[in-house]
Chain A
Amino acid sequence: MIDLPLALHIPDGFLSGDVAALAGVVAIAAVAYGLRVANVELDEARIPLLGVLAAFIFAGQMLNFPIAGGTSGHFLGATLAAVLLGPWLACLVMAVVLAVQAFAFADGGISALGANVLNMGVLGALLAGLLVSGAMSVLPRTRGSFLAVVGVVSWLAVMVGAAATSLELAVSDTVPLATSLPAMLGVHSLIGIGEAVITVAAVSAVLAARPDLVALAPAELTTGTAALQPLGGEAQA
């Protein structure tokens, strides 16, 4: 019995060699840039956060919730990672999660790993980085509008991942775009609601406990505690 748990995880055999290779190159470039960002910018307090976030996203991806029509979905996590760590470190976190899933749990293909990192990590993380910062530069910089933006963007990130997956399957001649795109977007519009609920709840909890760890939050939401001693070694006044 080979039971392939998928969600958005593409197994081997769905993508042509060209598509898998191209997606792999893009994913590797994003992860390499993420490593460089970590090398230069990662501060002391965020080192454990990177591990914790990867663990939380791995756990969340195991929790399939039922949606309509005998289908389930699960949390993906790219928006959460991008909001807490910034988009490039988020690419790293998602790559760690997806690589462990592929190699240790046979979840998602090996040659398709690049496409999976692209669809479920890089695209969502970069979209969240752009849209959250962009929206907060025009919206009132309050907790409420920040969380609303995070919710909407996390839903969009799931939709973009689903659309990208359909596109890759179409270019690979596995299934025509006109067949898979409406189905993928339909299912993932519901999965995206779950994504938004979990992402908003998690961001709101971190905002309450450690606002300084929410990288994309506007300064107004993180400076309320600035008078307290930062915990990292290299405190800046």
Chain B
Amino acid sequence: MNRLSTRIFTVLALALAIGLATAVSPFASASPDGLEKVAEDKAFLDQGRLARIQEDSPIPDYAFPGVENERVATGLAGFVGTLAVFAIGYGLAFVVRRRAPRAGPAGGAPA
């Protein structure tokens, strides 16, 4: 059985994720989804609002700011977002794991 190294597996899976988010998401359905549709039908959609902090979101509504073409704006948002999520997930795992108790008693995490 053919096994991929962790590095190759990571690169392939990340490339797939970035490819989907960048090249396919601009062509995804724009119809209202799940909860949005129900909220619309049952007339509570307009209760929704953005939190104050979200008014300054770097990439509101998955459209990269300053890009005219909607599809390009969505694709760029997907590209940047996927990379950012990968970096944060990887970084978090790396940091948390390095504090593993077996590395020494100084970790200090309460049991």
Contact = CB atoms under 8 A, between A and B. Distances in A.
Co-assembled chains A and B: yes
Interface of A: 2-14, 35-36, 38-40, 42, 44-56, 58-60, 62-66, 69-74, 92-93, 96-97, 100, 102-107, 109-111, 162, 165, 169, 174-175, 179-180, 183-184, 187-188, 191, 209-211, 213, 224-225, 228, 231-232
Contact of B32 (A9, A48, A71, A231): A71
A45 B10 CA distance: 10
Given A6-B36, A59-B18, A183-B42, A51 B31 contact: no
Contact of B92 (A44, A46, A96, A104): A96
A82 to B, nearest CB: 15
12 contacts: A6-B35, A48-B10, A51-B85, A54-B85, A55-B18, A58-B17, A64-B30, A96-B89, A96-B92, A100-B84, A105-B81, A184-B34
Given A105-B62, A106-B50, A180-B38, 16 more contacts: A2-B50, A5-B33, A7-B35, A11-B48, A11-B49, A42-B97, A54-B86, A55-B17, A56-B13, A58-B81, A62-B21, A92-B92, A96-B85, A103-B57, A109-B54, A209-B3
Contacts of A53: 89
Q: Which of A40, A50, A62, A100 has the largest number of chain B CB atoms within 10 A?
A: A62
Given A6-B33, A71-B34, A180 B49 contact: no
Q: How large is the interface on B (under 10, 10 to 19, 20 to 34, 35 or more residues)?
A: 35 or more
B47 A13 contact: yes
Contacts of A49: 10
B51 A64 contact: no
A102 B57 CA distance: 9
Nearest to B53: A110
B101 to A, nearest CB: 7
B96 interface: yes
Interface of B: 1-7, 9-10, 13-14, 16-18, 20-21, 24-25, 28-39, 41-42, 44-45, 47-51, 53-54, 57-62, 74, 77-78, 81-94, 96-97, 99-101, 107, 109
A187 B42 CA distance: 13
Given A42-B93, A59-B20, A106-B57, A72 B29 contact: yes
Contacts of B38: 180, 183-184, 187
Given A58-B21, A111-B51, A70 B93 contact: no
Nearest to B77: A105
